[in-house]
């Protein structure tokens, strides 16, 4: 899951040679899950055909301020309101100057003035133009108005000069655009998150496990990364792609998860234990597949280490958040686990329902600490994860 997932981004292209790279920016933003619309200046059309960008974005390219057809569909004010972020790439020296002066003589300028969205520019110009005091002043003014300045790069330029002024590579720009959405509440914090089920081997082909899909833990990892944390995600076997900007440590059994979690917590600030760890494992694992000769088989099980308890008692400075998966008396059992496992907070959820809990895209939960309790009504796991991250930040005074 990316920070850019479902984000609405206008890619504004002004007239410079780097405009050819905008096609790749559009594609990469879409690959990261963003919805993209393209607005071009008249100058940009000299460098790249609108048709290319229309084909890539899947939407008409906007260019005219006074286009009655566009205004009847999505006009410039609607476009300005629609966007979560306006990225101007490339941003020429002239376009940057026109932003500073608040000109509204082109569609792109008008959108810049009208939009409440985050605005980012990727400067692209000759090194002499970039170094000129007029440009430096303009960049400083935009920066003071909270416009994000992405780049430029230094290197060989289209004109043969060498120096600063090249537009950054599309992959780097897309990373920086994603960073613009980070809330930053957990900046500088190191988080360990456990997710998914564990598998406890019976023999080489069979195991004991549960219904955890990992969705809750992965959503937490994405939300924490979005909030600026350095995230280590320790995951049992799931069918999910690795979340962006997280270090993923895949594990299989509870013992593996225990070892990985204790090692990762040694230099972490926060642990969120969302994994559904198998409480028991077979005492012995058959080396060969067990044959079906007998009508009944007795499996002797022994208890796995309680990972979240072990981490809470070993690392006294760690802020530890557990989950309680219950099928009845949810709050009472959760409070008992909060105390017994020595946790700072617990997220209680009902796993007897099919619309929330295991494997669902949604969840409903209660955040409980020794002194507070807060209900989160049914919502997507993505949103719940963000709410849990906010609750942690609030507890730690990081708002
Ligand atoms: O993965 P999903 O399909 O998205 O489903 C999400 C979820 C239901 C798995 C998740 O929201 C959840 O409730 N996770 C905790 C599941 C669980 O094992 O709860 P528990 O009440 O049995 O355990 C309490 C706490 O102790 C949990 O934080 C658990 O990670 C931890 N634990 C349990 C046993 C053990 N040996 N070690 C542990 O660390």
The pLDDT of residue 75 is 74
**Averaged confidence pLDDT in the chain:** 94
Is there an atom of ligand 1 within 6 Å of 214 CB? yes
The pLDDT of residue 1 is 43
Whole-number Å distance between alpha carbons of 115 and 87: 12
Q: Span 369-390, mean pLDDT?
A: 94
Is there an atom of ligand 1 within 6 Å of 110 CB? no
Is there an atom of ligand 1 within 6 Å of 394 CB? no
Q: Span 381-388, mean pLDDT?
A: 93
3-state SS track over 295-357: CCCCCCEEECCCHHHHHHHHCCCCEEEEEEEECCCHHHHHHHHHHHCCCCEEEEEECCCCCCC
Whole-number Å distance between alpha carbons of 374 and 294: 51
Which of 171, 126, 167, 131 minimizes the C-alpha distance to 149? 167
Burial of 199 (0-12, 13-18, 19+ CB in 10 A): buried
- Locate the ligand 1 atom nearest the alpha carbon of residue 279 and give its number: 36
- Helix 307-314 to helix 254-265 angle (10° resolution) is 20
Q: Is the pLDDT of residue 341 over 70?
A: yes
Whole-number Å distance between alpha carbons of 96 and 130: 11
Q: How far is the CA of 349 from the centre of ligand 1 (A)?
A: 10
High-pLDDT (> 70) share of the chain, %: 97
Alpha-carbon distances, residue 354 vs 39, 301, 346, 357 (angstroms): 44, 28, 21, 7
- Locate the ligand 1 atom nearest the alpha carbon of residue 334 and give its number: 21
Tens of pLDDT, residue by residue over 211-226, are 999 999 999 999 998 8
Is there an atom of ligand 1 within 6 Å of 191 CB? no
Q: How far is the CA of 286 from the centre of ligand 1 (A)?
A: 27
Domains along the sequence of the chain with CATH: 8-180 (3.40.50.1950), 190-395 (3.40.50.10300)
The pLDDT of residue 70 is 62
Which tops the pLDDT comparison, 3 or 9? 9
Band of pLDDT at residue 2, cut at 50, 70 and 90: low
Q: How far is the CA of 10 from the centre of ligand 1 (A)?
A: 40
Which tops the pLDDT comparison, 344 or 244? 344
Tens of pLDDT, residue by residue over 114-172, are 998 899 999 999 999 999 999 999 999 999 999 999 999 999 888 888 999 999 999 99
Is there an atom of ligand 1 within 6 Å of 325 CB? yes
Q: Count of alpha carbons within 13 Å of 210, Cβ hemisphere only?
A: 21
Tens of pLDDT, residue by residue over 267-297, are 999 999 999 999 999 999 999 999 988 899 8
Q: How far is the CA of 389 from the centre of ligand 1 (A)?
A: 17
- Locate the ligand 1 atom nearest the alpha carbon of residue 196 and give its number: 1
Tens of pLDDT, residue by residue over 79-108, are 999 998 999 999 999 999 999 999 999 999
Is residue 159 annotated as part of the catalytic site, yes or no?
yes
Residues near 337 by Cβ (< 8 Å), separated by ≥ 6? Answer: 322, 324, 343, 346
Q: Is the pLDDT of residue 64 over 90?
A: no
């Amino acid at each position: 899951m990316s920070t850019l997932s479902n984000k609405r981004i206008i890619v504004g292209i002004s007239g410079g040679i780097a405009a050819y790279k905008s096609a790749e920016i559009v594609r990469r933003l879409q690959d990261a899950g963003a919805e993209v619309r393209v607005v071009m200046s008249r100058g940009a059309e000299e460098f790249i055909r609108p048709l290319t960008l229309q084909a890539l974005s899947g939407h008409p390219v906007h260019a005219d301020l006074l286009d009655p057809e566009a205004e009847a569909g999505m006009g410039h004010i609607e476009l300005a309101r629609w966007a979560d972020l306006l990225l101007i790439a490339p941003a020429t020296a002239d376009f940057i100057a026109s932003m500073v002066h608040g000109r509204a003589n082109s569609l792109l300028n008008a959108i810049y003035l009208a939009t409440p969205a985050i605005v980012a520019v990727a400067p692209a110009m000759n090194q002499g133009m970039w170094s000129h005091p007029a440009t430096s002043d303009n960049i400083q003014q935009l920066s003071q108005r909270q416009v994000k300045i992405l780049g430029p790069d230094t290197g060989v330029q289209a004109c043969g000069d060498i120096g600063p002024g090249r537009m950054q590579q599309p992959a780097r720009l897309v990373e920086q655009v994603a960073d613009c959405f980070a809330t930053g509440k957990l900046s500088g914090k190191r988080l360990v998150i456990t997710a998914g089920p564990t598998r406890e081997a019976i023999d080489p082909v069979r195991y004991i496990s549960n219904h955890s899909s990992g969705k809750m833990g992965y959503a937490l990892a994405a939300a924490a990364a979005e909030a600026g944390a350095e995230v280590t995600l320790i995951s049992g076997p799931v069918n999910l792609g690795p979340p962006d900007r997280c270090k993923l440590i895949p594990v299989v059994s509870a013992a593996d998860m225990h070892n990985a979690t204790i090692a990762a917590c040694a230099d972490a600030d926060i642990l969120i234990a969302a994994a559904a760890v198998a409480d028991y494992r077979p005492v012995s694992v058959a080396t060969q597949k067990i044959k079906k000769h007998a009508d009944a088989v007795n499996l002797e099980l022994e208890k796995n280490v309680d990972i979240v308890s072990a981490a809470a008692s070993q690392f006294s400075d760690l802020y530890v958040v557990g989950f309680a998966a219950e099928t009845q008396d949810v709050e009472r059992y959760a409070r008992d686990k909060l105390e017994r496992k020595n946790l700072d907070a617990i997220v209680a959820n009902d796993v007897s329902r099919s619309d929330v809990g295991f494997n669902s895209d949604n969840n409903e939960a209660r955040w409980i600490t020794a002194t507070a309790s807060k209900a989160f009504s049914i919502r997507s796991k993505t949103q719940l994860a963000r709410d849990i991250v906010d609750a942690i930040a609030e507890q730690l005074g990081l708002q």
